[in-house]
Amino acid sequence: MDKRERERPRVVLGVSGGIAAYKACELLRRLTESGHDVRVVPTASALHFVGEATWSALSGNPAGTEVWESVHEVPHVRIGQGADLVVVAPATADMLAKAAHGLADDLLTNTLLTARCPVVFAPAMHTEMWEHPATQENVATLRRRGALVIEPAVGRLTGVDTGKGRLPDPAEIFAVCRRVLARGPRAAEQDLAGRHVVISAGGTREPLDPVRYLGNRSSGKQGYALARTAVARGARVTLVAGNTELPDPAGVDVIRIGTARQLHEAVVKAAAEADAVVMAAAVADFRPAAYTTGKIKKVEGQEPEPVALVRNPDILAEVSAERARRGQVVVGFAAETDDVLANGRAKLARKGCDLLVVNEVGEHKAFGSAENEAVILAADGSETPVPYGPKEDLAETVWDLVVPRLADTER
């Protein structure tokens, strides 16, 4: 094994026997493609859903279920001992029960007993099984012992039923794994517990007619990263999302909007009882003065009519004006193409918010990408540079700066 190989974080992906096992293939892909050394440990029941060949081909490692294979390597102890992270996805009700009670009758349950690294469970089951007091008590036991149990998503279950119990999106589980690996023990910090935060994300679209709109290139990824990290730190999160394709983050109250005026209404309403408001959305400053109910047609031999625009409300300035009275922390974003810092400082003063995250944007910068680089300017004059990296890291730094400012505010 060369040095680079040893430096790859070692992840054990436990897979228990649920129909959602097929989604764990995507999680596995994300983990391997982002440089993790993954060992899949399925249960025997999981192999009814996805075969061993798939797990070992995708991971590049053996994927046995039993402690009786390769016994000379003592796998029932070594796999858990050597892991930097164990993630069980999907975790069935049976798996949660075994883990809570310390049973060890196959390779995965042995691994869970020998692992000293962080453990993440992503449960998936029918709503009745999830809500059963036995499962709830097992989840509470696992959480008390320090395991991170992700709340299942709400939606279509196996067959025609819908409800709580769906495996969260693999991207969501991946983000949790990445966070746990990146933050270590700090991943468990609940420094936003008891706080309500409102985040806007994505971009607004201002319709011209039923088929056309004025829009922008915001993907929503930064706002969603803020929402996910706030939930992980214990906050109640309202995410006002404009025109993004991203799936709802687990445990977040998502309000979908289209236009700047809808965003304005939703943010102002939610902000009335929030501890912090973060405006990550790219809001259109202008909208067409008139909406044409039928599609605008071209007329042969005639130039098109110019489009008259009117101003949209400045939501950040409006929320900032209330922040002292409400004891809130308000954060804005500034997307700049030129004179980035000078424009940022002027904007911070103009908007009147506590913090302004200034980033440079351009055709290939920030928009749509999973990475970002920024400087966070504070009203007290401090500047916090955030190096180029995942949008999650920038989100964590925003909360790191929000938390001490919240301490001065009344709940």
User: Known catalytic residues?
Assistant: 216
Instruction: Copy the structure tokens of residue 205.
Output: 């679209």
Q: Are 358 and 336 in contact (CB under 8 A)?
A: yes
Instruction: Report, in Å, the least distance between residue 76 CB and ligand CTP.
Output: 52
Query: Does 94 count as an annotated binding residue?
Result: no
By CB under 6 A, name the binding residues for ligand CTP: 260, 279, 281, 283, 285, 312, 314-316, 332-335
Instruction: Report, in Å, the least distance between residue 356 CB and ligand CTP.
Output: 8
Q: How far is CA 357 from CA 70, 296, 402, in A?
A: 53, 39, 12
Query: Does 313 count as an annotated binding residue?
Result: yes
Residue 76 or residue 287: which is nearer to ligand CTP going by CB? Answer: 287
Separation CA 330–CA 401 (nearest Å)? 11
Residue 147 or residue 260: which is nearer to ligand CTP going by CB? Answer: 260
Instruction: Copy the structure tokens of residue 183.
Output: 């933050």
Residue 109 or residue 238: which is nearer to ligand CTP going by CB? Answer: 238
What single-letter amino acid sits at 378? A
Q: What is the 3-state secondary structure (H, E, C) of 43-77?
A: CCCHHHHCCHHHHHHHHCCCCCCCCCCCHHHCHHH
Instruction: Report, in Å, the least distance between residue 283 CB and ligand CTP.
Output: 4
Q: At what angle do helices 221-232 and 170-183 cross, to 10 degrees?
A: 60
Query: Does 42 count as an annotated binding residue?
Result: no
Query: Does 316 count as an annotated binding residue?
Result: yes
Query: Does 315 count as an annotated binding residue?
Result: yes
Peptide bond into 90 cis (omega under 30): yes
Residue 11 or residue 281: which is nearer to ligand CTP going by CB? Answer: 281
Q: How many residues does the chain have?
A: 411
Q: What are phi and psi of 383, to 5 degrees?
A: -130, 130
Q: Are 191 and 275 in contact (CB under 8 A)?
A: no
The SS3 call for residue 384 is strand
Instruction: Report, in Å, the least distance between residue 342 CB and ligand CTP.
Output: 12
Instruction: Report, in Å, the least distance between residue 170 CB and ligand CTP.
Output: 29
Residue 107 or residue 283: which is nearer to ligand CTP going by CB? Answer: 283
Contacts of 3 (CB under 8 A, 6+ apart): none
Query: Does 247 count as an annotated binding residue?
Result: no
Binding site residue list: 285, 295, 313-316, 333, 347, 351
Binding site residue list for CTP: 285, 295, 313-316, 333, 347, 351
